[in-house]
Structure 1
């Protein structure tokens, strides 16, 4: 096979890679979004955030699978967090809404349906306050060096966890060109690599009544997607 023939076939395959999937109903989009937490404390306003990469895709309606015709997404990045007081941190864990759900609900004007919104996110840029019902789950650690000391935080009552004068002022989401945040959370939680396949807390541990199923199921994936960095 000559170099010319190889070059022709390479061009054909490259074109097929980009053109064939849309023709059959497969579509995909990517964008970066930044979640920022703003906390009021006795020593002033504290802010912390993280930029993640969203990968959204759709399978065509003709596929015999339950997800056909809908938009699925996954996140690459780290959870947003803020140091409320020395050694005391508030984390917004990564969850299913960290992908398209929170972005689409926060910026509904970018499109009338999921497909148009996903397409628009590639070029749209803006910041908006996240609605209360689209907040992520919040957690902290009594001892930041001990993953088993994790506990849920009520966003409407941070003072119950962090003391008087501490309150969550708001959460914002920005569609941005900033690079994905990398390794910031590992500097605070150096034990992350040990808990990707097992929960931070023993599922049989009964420290609460009723037991908090979220806390009993959390792994390191709630703070950083595996394989990043």
Structure 2
């Protein structure tokens, strides 16, 4: 929500509106005004890649400041934009990442049955299947 702060996109609501009503007015205003914003590097979501698209555990965190390390020489990050549009939602990720179909819950890619801090505390250990798919409406 950083690029579209609620105080800037309030939307119209009653003076004594509940938090839920204020949030709904905010979402309505975003939908009406269709804002667009450049993201600062600190606000870019985690970038990952898979060494093997058929193996969720082959996921690796990608450093946006050093894309060449993950994708080869000359690849650089130029920027990211977030925008509210009426474009249709892109689908088909399940065809590219077939393992998404096997899980119906938001489990982590790297299960941790002991609930203890994992010996490998990579950021990618916090990714869940839901980070890669759209939830049913």
TM over 0.5: yes
1:211 alignment partner in structure 2: 121
CA RMSD across the alignment: 2.8
Instruction: Return the structure number with greater relative CO, CA threshold 8 A, min gap 6.
Output: 1
Structure 1 spans left out of the alignment, 5+ residues: 1-100
Aligned residues: 121
Native 8 Å contact 1:104 1:117 kept in 2: no
Q: Give the alignment of 1:174-193 within 5 angstroms.
A: 174-183=83-92, 185-193=93-101
Q: Quote the residue 1:167 is aligned against.
A: 76
- Counting only pairs closer than 5 Å after superposition, residues 11-22 of structure 1 correspond to structure 2 as none
Between Structure 1 and Structure 2, whose CA radius of gyration is higher?
1
Shift of 1:103: 4.5
In terms of fraction of residues, the more helix-rich structure is 2
Matching of residue 130 in structure 1 with residue 30 in structure 2: no
TM-score normalised over the length of structure 2: 0.70
- TM-score using structure 1 length: 0.45
Instruction: Write out aligned runs for 1:1-229 (5 A).
Output: 101-105=1-5, 109-111=8-10, 115=23, 117-183=26-92, 185-197=93-105, 198-203=107-112, 211-212=121-122, 214-227=123-136
The answer to which structure has the higher strand fraction is 1
Gapped runs of 5+ residues in structure 2?
12-21
